[in-house]
Amino acid sequence: MTDIIIVRYGELALKSTGVRNWYERKLVQNIAAMLKFRGIGPSQIKREWGRIFVHTTDSEAAGVVANVFGVVSTSPAISSNATLADAAKVCADIGAGMIHDGESFAIRTRRTGNHSFSSRDIGIKCGDAVWERLVSIGQSPSVNLTDPDKEIFVEMRQTRAYIYTTKSKGVGGFPLGTQGKMIALVSGGIDSPVSAWLMMKRGVEIIPVYCNNEPFSDETTRERAMDCIKVLADWAPGHPMKVYEVPHGDNLTAFLTDCEYKNTCLLCRRTMYREAFEIMKKEGASGIITGASLGQVASQTSANMYAEVYGLGIPLYHPLIGHDKTEIIDIANRIGTFNSSIKPATCCTAVPDFPEVKAKVDALALEEKKVDIDDLVSYSVSNAKVIIIDSLSSISDQNNDGK
């Protein structure tokens, strides 16, 4: 029976010793939080050079740990003493249960530490043991090192051997919490949650900001955004999300009343960036994440994206800038936000029928002088509602002063 999960990581192994140790400790913390969130309680989690080992007999643990940012792959394994005889016995037991009559097999070995035997010796000893066991129960096995029907992996380390047959692919990236915090603008559509998730994969803790466009949208739009954020929170147990809901409808009213209609979306986005920037400074974050994909909608033409940021000096990150819609949808399905993003909801009714697609920065600057942008931003941020979404996806409201 499986008694341990082998956890492998990738990029963080390239870091200096001190940084790597910190990343590994953070990864262990995140693994423990994910297992607790999923109702799996390991007896202990241990670090060794190049590996993390989760001691558990729960068959679902390998798949759960594979969904922790920073994990490259996992394998449920059976451990034994680091001797040829003990490893060979485990291999024989596994082989008898998984290799059918007439099937070929191979032993794949990996050795770390000081031993009196080589990796080749492990392969020969364990292969012989499997062969003899299968023959003893009346089977006719064969060895095929190139394209076998079944494979048994043996990882021999200094004091323990680990034998396994499968690998679960992990999400990769860096452990969450190793790359600081950023603001994530989340609208509830397909793109913005995917963009936020990709930055989480790179180790960034996100502070979601939802700009509420009521009365130009309604509660269905808000619910969709919050559902997406809750899905993202499930990827980050142990890292409660502080969500800002910013009232943005009055800003749209001002633009529709005083500015040229076709520029509404551009002015809206520039104001959202300013609001997010104020929250970024308040939270000690280091950037703002958007769901922009070049050319996907009118506001995301190259000319408009330039105009949207001109003169603002705000650090923006666009993880999806080179992705097409099919690629984004594939990721959304994989991470679990797609179904929430396509729930019926009211689209923003302030969007012009013929929006500007080739904005000129000087013209947009003149448009902004028609309203008091600073007052609009200050009012929105000071009246933002703060919501805490914890790792169990429960929600609590804080006071409305954003503290």
pLDDT tens sequence across 380-393 = 999 999 999 986 55
> Looking at the structure, do residues 206 and 344 belong to the same domain, yes or no?
yes
> Number of structural domains, the chain?
2
Q: What's the CA gap between 271 and 309, in Å, rounded? A: 10
Q: What is the pLDDT of residues 108-156, one digit of tens each?
A: 999 999 999 999 999 999 999 999 999 999 999 999 999 999 999 999 9
Q: Is residue 118 included in any domain, yes or no?
A: yes
> Looking at the structure, do residues 188 and 151 belong to the same domain, yes or no?
no
Residue 313 has pLDDT above 80, yes or no: yes
DSSP string, 10-53: -GGGGS-HHHHHHHHHHHHHHHHHHHHHTT---SEEEEETTEEE
Residue 403 has pLDDT above 50, yes or no: no
More confident residue, 297 or 291: 291
Structural domain span for residue 19: 4-169
pTM greater than 0.85 (yes/no)? yes
Q: Single out the residue in 169, 193, 209 at which a domain terminates.
A: 169
> Looking at the structure, do residues 79 and 31 belong to the same domain, yes or no?
yes
Q: Is the separation of the CB atoms in 271 and 309 below 8 Å?
A: no
Task: Give me the amino acid identity at 106.
Answer: A
User: Which residues partner with 2 through β-bridges?
Assistant: none
Q: What's the CA gap between 104 and 98, in Å, rounded? A: 11
> Looking at the structure, do residues 196 and 153 belong to the same domain, yes or no?
no
User: Which residues partner with 396 through β-bridges?
Assistant: 388
Residue 207 has pLDDT above 80, yes or no: yes
Q: Is residue 174 included in any domain, yes or no?
A: no
The CATH code of the domain that includes 326 is: 3.40.50.620
Q: Is residue 41 included in any domain, yes or no?
A: yes
173 band by pLDDT with thresholds 50, 70 and 90 = very high
Q: Is residue 373 included in any domain, yes or no?
A: yes
